[in-house]
Chain A
Amino acid sequence: MFDYDHRITLTGTVTKFEWTNPHAYIELDVADANGGAKHYSIECASPNVLTRLGWKFNELKTGDKVTILVNPLKNGKLGGMMEKTTLPDGRTLGDGNPPGGRFDQ
């Protein structure tokens, strides 16, 4: 489903951070060249894994500006799997990728 051979870097504004199982999600608006925005849904590991990697349930707020390294969806739709996120304060938190290792935390 996700293209682990490719990565894209998305810089945008968080519209929602869902701290849910089986996966957390970051909803992100990314500005395009025409003054509009493209919306991406970015899957993360579970809150259980993210917690062990240093994430907190309130790590992201609506309106936060973040940069996320993403393995895009293979079908070209606007979504992907988070690999790491650079938070507004400059810290970087990962997702435990590669996917085979995501539960290995």
Chain B
Amino acid sequence: MRTIALMLSLAALPVLAQTQSKGNPPNLNGAWAVYRAGRGAAADPKLAAPAAGPMLLKSPYADAYKKRQAAEREADQRGEPLGNRGTLCIPYGMPQMMSAIYPLEILQTPGQITIITEAFSEVRRIYLDEPQAKMGEVAPGYYGHSVGHWDGDMLMVDTIGIKEEVLGFRSMPHSDQVRITERFHLAAPDVLHDQVTVEDPVTLEKPWTFTFAYRRTPNYHLLEYVCENNREYLDDNGVTRLKLQDH
């Protein structure tokens, strides 16, 4: 056990200790959409995102998570789907925004990488070659505080300060001590992988790693997305309902 803990701390060390970029970064500018293996002529299963590792939650988070999943399945079968913050048009935040249900755009400018998603027009800013703040010193938010650096052709990003209310990827519960580490690299000239590792000493037994894969869409212009007409709402039981327009 002690050996595993030591290995984990060593694995996390380079991200925290080395914050200065080296090497020539690749060009990530432009619009990207989720890369799906088997879809389109160019789809190559070898370039698809590898399967996510297991999400190992601590008790009682694991029990609550299982209960919620079961309740959602049961409600879906009944035709009364339970809503969540998404139903209320609350943006995803990190890391769910990186799942890119709609395309996203990456802007590389000196000292900064900016990621804009089409869904909810979410924006995250990654400050390059700056030290990370201390845990607990960042005002909790949807995108937190992200710093990054280039390690050769790999972009390493460290994010802290995610609000507890922000629903994690696959609805993973997290505490105010969650840390998200990302490794961006081009798996092919026009295929980008974002390997995400979520660490949370409160809710997770061990870090959880999953990968998002994107394909470059050179001629795509992101559409706007303003949640101005949300007719779906949650009733007292958390069930999604539709407000009808009466005439």
Chain A residues near B (Cβ < 8 Å): 1-3, 15-16, 18, 20-23, 25, 27, 29, 39, 41, 43, 46-49, 51, 73-74, 77-79, 103-104
Evaluate whether A79 and B242 lie within 8 angstroms (CB atoms) in the complex, with A15-B247, A27-B247, A48-B119 already known. yes
A90 CB → nearest B CB, Å: 27
Q: Which of A1, A15, A25 contacts B81 (CB 8 A)?
A: A1
Listed stretches B144-152, B196-204, B224-232; interface member? B224-232
Q: What are the residues of chain A within 8 A of B3 when measuring CB–CB?
A: none
* CB nearest neighbor in B for A103: B101
Q: What are the residues of chain B within 8 A of A1 when measuring CB–CB?
A: 79-81, 232, 239-242
Q: How far is the CA of A73 from the CA of B230 in the complex (A)?
A: 17
Q: How far is the CA of A46 from the CA of B245 in the complex (A)?
A: 18
Evaluate whether A43 and B225 lie within 8 angstroms (CB atoms) in the complex, with A1-B81, A48-B102 already known. no
The list of the 4 closest CB pairs from A to B, nearest first, reads A20-B229, A74-B79, A103-B101, A41-B244
Which applies to chain B's interface (DSSP): helix, strand, loop or mixed?
loop
Decide yes or no whether B89 CB sits under 8 A from chain A: yes
Q: Say yes or no: B229 contacts A48, CB within 8 Å.
A: no
Evaluate whether A20 and B228 lie within 8 angstroms (CB atoms) in the complex, with A48-B118, A103-B101, A103-B102 already known. yes
Q: List 7 A-B contacts (CB under 8 A).
A: A1-B80, A1-B240, A23-B232, A41-B244, A48-B119, A73-B242, A77-B244
Q: What are the residues of chain B within 8 A of A3 when measuring CB–CB?
A: 79
Q: What are the residues of chain B within 8 A of A27 when measuring CB–CB?
A: 245, 247
Q: How far is the CA of A22 from the CA of B231 in the complex (A)?
A: 9
Q: Say yes or no: A22 contacts B227, CB within 8 Å.
A: yes
Evaluate whether A48 and B241 lie within 8 angstroms (CB atoms) in the complex, with A23-B231, A25-B229, A74-B79 already known. no
Q: How far is the CA of A2 from the CA of B247 in the complex (A)?
A: 21
Q: Say yes or no: A25 contacts B245, CB within 8 Å.
A: yes
B120 CB → nearest A CB, Å: 9
Q: Say yes or no: A21 contacts B229, CB within 8 Å.
A: yes
* CB nearest neighbor in B for A24: B229
Q: What are the residues of chain B within 8 A of A74 when measuring CB–CB?
A: 79-80
Q: What are the residues of chain B within 8 A of A73 when measuring CB–CB?
A: 242
Evaluate whether A25 and B223 lie within 8 angstroms (CB atoms) in the complex, with A3-B79, A48-B118 already known. no
